[in-house]
């Protein structure tokens, strides 16, 4: 179902982008030292992330924890992003409390199915019963992101979740 996904989502680019808007100093506030004016960047003292869109209307979002001293710190927070097309794939990296994707319009009257696939796997999973669709927004719980995005993790793998979702 998701063959050739790498042609549509070059998600490795997101992980290589620098996050210069946040300070790595000891946290004193949830507000970053230098606010970002980019609409596709989010940052607090304990999580930073980047949202990217692609010419085929695909969207990707990465939530990345912070290194404080020798400790990696992350907190699951709710994140909302804009999507362009209900049928375009959404790449998701990292831990979230929830991820809400809001589209320009509510979906057409047909009943939608939502599938997710671990980027390390080959089998999509029907997550329709785990998501919420209200008006023009799709909400994916963090537990679903973690469960599916780590389905094919090998023993000892400490990576965060990585998955793609597709609405059909």
CA distances from residue 32 to 28, 37, 97, 112 in whole angstroms, order as listed: 10, 12, 20, 38
CA distances from residue 120 to 72, 100, 112, 150, 163 in whole angstroms, order as listed: 23, 23, 25, 8, 8
Percent of all residues in the chain with a pLDDT value above 70, rounded to a whole number: 71
Given a contact cutoff of 8 angstroms between Cβ atoms, the answer to whether 83 and 136 are in contact is: no
Digit-coded pLDDT (tens) for 137-168: 999 999 999 999 999 999 999 889 999 999 99
Dihedral-angle region of residue 69 (phi above 0 means left; psi in -120 to 50 means alpha; beta otherwise): left
Digit-coded pLDDT (tens) for 24-48: 444 443 344 454 444 555 655 456 6
pTM comes to: 0.74
Which are the contacts of 125, defined by CB distance < 8 A and separation ≥ 6?
115, 116, 117, 148, 151
Digit-coded pLDDT (tens) for 7-26: 333 333 333 333 333 434 44
Given a contact cutoff of 8 angstroms between Cβ atoms, the answer to whether 95 and 63 are in contact is: yes
Neighbours of 124 (CB within 10 A): 19
Number of domains in the chain: 1
Segment 114-124 shows an average pLDDT of 95
| CA 32 to chain CA centroid, nearest Å | 21
């Amino acid at each position: 179902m998701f063959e050739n996904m790498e042609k549509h989502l070059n998600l490795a680019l997101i992980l290589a982008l620098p996050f210069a808007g946040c300070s790595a100093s000891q946290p004193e506030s949830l507000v970053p030292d230098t606010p970002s004016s980019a609409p596709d960047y989010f940052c607090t003292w304990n999580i930073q992330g980047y949202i990217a869109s692609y010419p085929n209307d695909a969207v990707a979002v990465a939530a990345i924890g912070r290194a404080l001293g020798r400790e990696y710190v992350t907190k699951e927070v709710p994140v909302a992003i804009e999507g362009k097309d209900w049928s375009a794939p959404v790449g998701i990296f990292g831990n979230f409390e929830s991820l809400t994707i809001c589209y320009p319009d509510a979906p057409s009257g047909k009943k939608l199915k939502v599938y997710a696939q671990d980027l390390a796997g080959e089998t999509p999973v029907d997550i329709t019963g785990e998501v919420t669709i209200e008006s023009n927004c799709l909400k994916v719980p963090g537990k679903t992101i973690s469960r599916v995005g780590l389905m094919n993790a090998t023993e000892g793998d400490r990576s965060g979740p990585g998955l793609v979702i597709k609405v059909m």
